[in-house]
Amino acid sequence: MNQKVKLRRNKIAKEYRVNERIRSSSVRLISGEDQSNSKILQTREALQMAIENGLDLVEVSPNQDPPVCRLLDYGKFKYNISKRDKKNKSKTTQSQREVRLRPGTSKHDVDLKIKKVRSLLDDGSKVRVAVMLRGREAAHPDFAMKVLRSVAEGVKDMAKLDKRPSNEGRTLSLVVSPAFPQGTMKNKEKEK
């Protein structure tokens, strides 16, 4: 219930009042690209100015007294905001991915997992390589360590070790992160 209320509040904050939906009797109108010109007008006067210029009156800061409005093309304004949000979202998506192995994994299968780790690193993600031990395998962690070493050797040219191999219950794991910017290794492979 509480989470729904928060979601509704966030949604309200992203929706702007436009033209006749502005409830205040007077507004602070900001005009010009440099936002230096501001004056307090009656809402209907500001709305009339917007109509004359072929623009919309958009309430950008409703919590001020009087509310702050701008004259702009609302469709273009919404488009620029969505574009900016997508750009910011794509910049902050360095996630941690996980690749799981077992101590008895064959050499060929380990090579395929190394290839997968390399592609994840090239996409800009941190990768946690985990070797899970079951039953009697827990008595021989050296086999798991050997698998981890082979993976670390396979990606050492494009990754740096963030967390050395460590034992976490029945799992041995290490964390590697990209040593180069996103997409760099794909470009190098194309040049070859």
Which pLDDT value is given to residue 101?
92
- Closest-CA residue to 138 (of 109, 167, 166): 167
Question: Rounded to the nearest 5°, which phi and psi values hold at 190?
Answer: -70, -35
| Amino acid, res. 186 | K
Cα–Cα separations (whole angstroms), residue 5 to 10, 12, 16, 62, 172: 9, 11, 19, 20, 42
Residue 32 Rama label (left phi>0; alpha psi -120 to 50; beta): left
The answer to whether residues 137 and 144 touch, using CB atoms and an 8 Å cutoff, is yes
Higher local confidence (pLDDT), 188 or 119? 119
Domains of the chain, start order: 2-79 (3.10.20.80), 96-183 (3.30.110.10)
| Amino acid, res. 36 | S
Q: What percent of the chain is modeled with pLDDT above 90?
A: 18
Which pLDDT value is given to residue 130?
93
Span 137-148, pLDDT tens digits: 888 888 889 999
Higher local confidence (pLDDT), 16 or 170? 170
Higher local confidence (pLDDT), 9 or 68? 68
pTM exceeds cut of 0.75: no
The SS3 of residue 86 is helix
Q: Which two tokens stand for residue 16?
A: 């702007």
Reply yes or no on whether the pLDDT at 108 is more than 70: yes
Which pLDDT value is given to residue 92?
53
- Closest-CA residue to 97 (of 181, 188, 157, 178): 178
CA distance 175 to 117: 11
Span 5-54, pLDDT tens digits: 444 444 444 677 888 888 888 888 887 665 667 788 888 888 888 888 88
Span 123-162, pLDDT tens digits: 888 899 999 999 888 888 888 899 999 999 998 888 888 8
